[in-house]
Structure 1
Amino acid sequence: MNQEAEGLVWHLGNWVISNTVITTWLIMLGFAGLALLLCLSERHAQTGLQNALEAVLVAIEAAVAEVVPAGAVRHVLPFVATLWLFVLTANLVGLLPTLHAPTRDLSATAALAALVFLSTHWYGIRAHGLAKHLKHYCQPSVILLPFHIISEITRTLALAIRLFGNMMSLEMAALLVLLIAGFLVPVPLLMLHVVEAVIQAYIFGMLALIYIAGALESSEPDSTNREENL
């Protein structure tokens, strides 16, 4: 199997630089450049782009405020908003020629799921302290501790595999239609790709938000059941 088939670009010693890594860094640099541009434009009249991005941020803030306690919104918002926007951009970048969505790579979705896992415990420890955060895994009985641990692991794996599987199958379906029907017929399919990419980003971000809210409100029984609605 050649490097192109594997999605490899080059080796740096034992490190492998893949298309996923390059595309991910390009997305991050794009966000950093956009943030710098918006910071510089604050000194002048607001632009249409800035107004649009502020509207998106307000919408995300409203979604966060509906799930987490009011006092934790300003702490949770930066992480959740960044995660939401990154996953959405990563899902949509596959529509560009010669590029593939980083989220079709299991290593990328696993890294995102790991960030959600770590952030969940970080917010929980910050809100309740280490002892109280760990103590709720032994409630109502210490016998349930192994099941709580398994639940934490399995939901993290499910978070990674769900996004990876959906984006991989979506890109493969689009590629097959392009090969069979050409570049003019599958325009509705490309629109479906956009809709599905938005939905998958929303689900990933909402699940992350629910997990964080569950850590912030470990005594709230309904906070862990909202995942079933997704």
Structure 2
Amino acid sequence: MQRINNPRTLVLLIALVIALAVVSNLLEEPVEETAEPDVAEEIAPDVVFTVGPLEVTSTVINTWAMMLLLGVGAYLIGRNLKLRPGLVQNMLEWIVEAIERLIREMVGVEDTSIFLPLVGTLAFFIGTANLIGLLPGLKSPTPDINTPLAMALVVLFSVPYFGIRTRGLWGYLKHYVEPIFLMLP
């Protein structure tokens, strides 16, 4: 594992995490106990502030904090990749190989390079989104209905795109009626 030898960098990273936790904690509204919560209020995102007609919610802020955390982590890990991997690089290579193996088993293709960027990004995003709630002051963005809806839309439009790209238009349409044409939806 790469050590941070520069104390200034370490202090800046710790200050960044503390600042994100404090800002997120300040933005969180206190929960008031009610007899029966309204379902629409329960799943609606908390609006923190507005910029013109755009409402910035706590989900957006926490998602941006998560993206910043992932970006800084990718930069710190990516700049120190070695031919002989350390603990962190070995763990990340194992995760990427597990995702490639999953793609190979589910899709049935040997060349996973077409699907790996999308599936890997979704895997890291979902994993980080579910774990970020463990950090003080940060909440997971997945309970907000908009986050899973956005991911579902990405997958919904990606499936036909990758199907046509790998099989061609005719092959993609033909797979809907295999093995017999009565299978047509």
With the shorter chain as reference, the TM-score category is 0.5 to 0.7
Structure 2 CA distance, aligned partners of 1:44 and 1:71? 24
Structure 2 CA distance, aligned partners of 1:125 and 1:44? 37
The residue aligned with 1:106 is: 145
Structure 2 CA distance, aligned partners of 1:104 and 1:31? 20
SS at match of 2:138: coil
Equivalent of 1:36 in 75, 81, 86:
75
The residue aligned with 1:78 is: 117
**Offset at residue 74 of structure 1 (A):** 1.7
Contact 2:104 2:110 in 1 (8 A): no
The residue aligned with 1:182 is: none
**Offset at residue 96 of structure 1 (A):** 2.4
Q: Does 1:97 align with 2:152?
A: no
**Offset at residue 133 of structure 1 (A):** 2.9
Q: Does 1:121 align with 2:160?
A: yes
Structure 2 CA distance, aligned partners of 1:124 and 1:86? 23
**RMSD (Å), alpha carbons:** 2.6
Amino acid at match of 1:107: N
Distance 1:46 1:128, change over 3 A: closer
Contact 2:141 2:147 in 1 (8 A): yes
User: How many residues end up aligned between the 2 structures?
Assistant: 142
Which has the larger Rg?
2
Q: Which has the higher helix share?
A: 1
Distance 1:36 1:96, change over 3 A: closer
**Offset at residue 136 of structure 1 (A):** 5.0
Distance 1:46 1:15, change over 3 A: same
- Report the TM-score, using the length of structure 2 for normalisation: 0.65
Distance 1:43 1:55, change over 3 A: closer
Amino acid at match of 1:71: E
Distance 1:61 1:48, change over 3 A: same
- Report the TM-score, using the length of structure 1 for normalisation: 0.54
Greater shift, 53-62 or 105-114, is seen at 53-62
SS at match of 2:113: helix
Name segments (4+ residues, structure 1) moved above 4 Å.
Answer: 134-139
